[in-house]
Amino acid sequence: MKAMLQFAAIVILFIATWFGFSRIDFVRIFHLNSINKKMERKIGDAIIDAIESGNDVIKSDSLDIIYNKIMSRLCSGTILNSDEIKLHLVKSDQINAYALPGNNIVINTRLIEKCDSASELCGIIAHETGHLELHHVMKRIIGETGISVITSMATNGNSVIAARIAKHLSTKAFERDQEREADAFAVKCLNAANIGKSGFENFMLKMAKTDGAIPDKLEWVSTHPDSKERVANIRSSKITSPKKYIQVLNDTEWAYLKKCAIQKQLVNSNLWK
Amino acid sequence: MTPDPISTYKPNEQELERASNSYLMSLIAVMAGMPLPIINLVATLIFYLGNRKSSWYVKWHCTQTLFSQLTLLIVNSIGFSWTLSVIFGSDILTNNYIGYMLTIVLFNLGEFIVTIYAAVQTRKGKPVSFWFWGTLTNMVCKPPIGSEGLNAPDIQTAYE
């Protein structure tokens, strides 16, 4: 009995101390989130610089308008800030899209070529946004390169390491659970934005058909395995579908995006008109 | 009220040294095993097993150290796995996590100070019975019958 009472007293003391410390807002006092965000942004910038130096990145004011439109719509039903997520269109034969630290998402031109509609593209962007919002990207980099490398990169912006990380993030798959979480996030996001999950499902279905016989150029399939199982998960998702569907991009905007992706020459001018 | 059996026992010099060493062992293990909480327990367990055949007095102190280390192992392991989850898993840095880590640092520090005190006092022949762990040790480590107020050689006779 005495031991039980003493044990209870120790447990209460422990919990009370923990509760007391938890009431102090350390995260806000020491700006821990902003430190993380600043570090992520620096790492992201270094990786984007490395990608830009080794690849053709398509940029134009019209593309920026389209990116803003896509992100504003995707973030409309959520607490996400659309201005914080940056899209980058990279000329590449690989069908791929990947998330990078600092809220950057890289989309290869070949992937846009393979998309039949803007809602398919939105599905992929929503999935990659899921990886960003669920902190999968930074955790993966820390897990695979170590905190010391990350810290030195955030302070010195080492371009060699940045290029290696970019290569790694674009070619290696996330863990199965993380992919499932990002899919669930995407479905929630797409439904909240009145885009619906059908576009995402269609694209996944197209990718599922290539599973088992992955052609060299289908990098998104190799980095996002188990497509069939994931299509089934997306279909069985209990998240309520939107009552009305709104088109993300109009025909002109979608045609422009496709044109940017398909053309052989790099676009720097405004092709809007 | 019955006096604590450990305080009425009169140990010999060798017993005092061994009993005091059981605390020192856990301190060394704490320093060596900072990042990996299991090391503390393993070291204390080895010392405990090594003294299984020692006198009741030494065994009592080894058991008390083992129990306190076992408790720390549980809270430290939770902290350790939570940290791994924050760095590599799906958890993020929260006030709850920081609060928990500060709490276990505080408890470890408290245990560290109390252990040093216990080691010094035990060496001087003044045994320290920890709150809860001492009571628990009394429950599992019963003194030999008729040992109250006896000195070490008498206890040895009682064993025989």
Structure tokens at B154: 């008498």
How many C-beta atoms lie closer than 10 Å to residue A197's C-beta? Answer: 24
Q: Would you put residue A140 in left (φ > 0), alpha (ψ -120 to 50) or beta?
A: alpha
DSSP string covering A110-134: HHHHH-SSHHHHHHHHHHHHHHHHT
Which of B76, B85, B92 to mutate to probe the A interface, most A CBs <10 Å?
B92
Confidence (pLDDT) at B159: 39
Asked if A192 contacts A243 with a C-beta cutoff of 8 angstroms, the reply is no
Under an 8 A CB cutoff, do B87 and A181 touch? no
Rounded distance between C-alpha atoms, residue B160 and residue B157, angstroms? 5
A199-221 tens-digit pLDDT: 998 888 887 776 555 555 555 66
Contact B98 A6 (CB under 8 A): no
CA distance B143 to chain A (A): 18
Asked if A18's CB is within 8 angstroms of B135's CB, the reply is no
CB A100 within 8 A of CB A106: yes
Nearest to B91 by CA among A138, A149, A75: A138
Which residues in A lie closer than 8 A to residue B107 (C-beta atoms)?
Answer: 14, 17
Alpha helices in chain A (DSSP H): 2-23, 26-29, 32-54, 61-75, 109-114, 118-133, 136-145, 147-156, 159-171, 176-192, 198-210, 219-223, 227-235, 251-262
- A125 pLDDT exceeds 90? yes
CA distance A4 to A12: 12
Q: What is the mean pLDDT of residues A141-170?
A: 72
Residue pLDDT, tens place only, B70-79: 888 889 889 9
Model confidence band, residue A14 (pLDDT cutoffs 50, 70, 90): very high
Q: What is the pLDDT of residue A58?
A: 87
pLDDT at A219: 57
pLDDT at A94 (0 to 100): 84
- Can you give the length of chain A in residues? 273
- Closest CB to B96: pick one of A3, A17, A22: A22
Task: Return the DSSP state at A106.
Answer: E
Average pLDDT along chain A: 82
Residue to mutate among A14, A19, A141, with most B CBs inside 10 A, is A14
User: Which of the pair, A189 or A36, is modelled with greater confidence?
Assistant: A189
CB within 8 Å: B87 and A142: yes
Shortest Cα–Cα distance, B84 to chain A (Å): 10
**Residue B2 touches partner A, C-beta closer than 8 Å:** no
pLDDT of residue A180: 87
> Which pLDDT does position A138 carry in this prediction?
82
Residues of B in contact with A26 (CB under 8 A): 95, 98-99
- Regarding predicted confidence, which is higher, A246 or B111? B111
Mean pLDDT across the stretch A141-150?
Answer: 71
Nearest C-alpha in A relative to B87: A139
Q: Is A57 helix (H, G, I), strand (E, B) or coil?
A: strand
* pLDDT, position B148: 52
Q: How far is A99 from chain B (nearest CA, A)?
A: 17
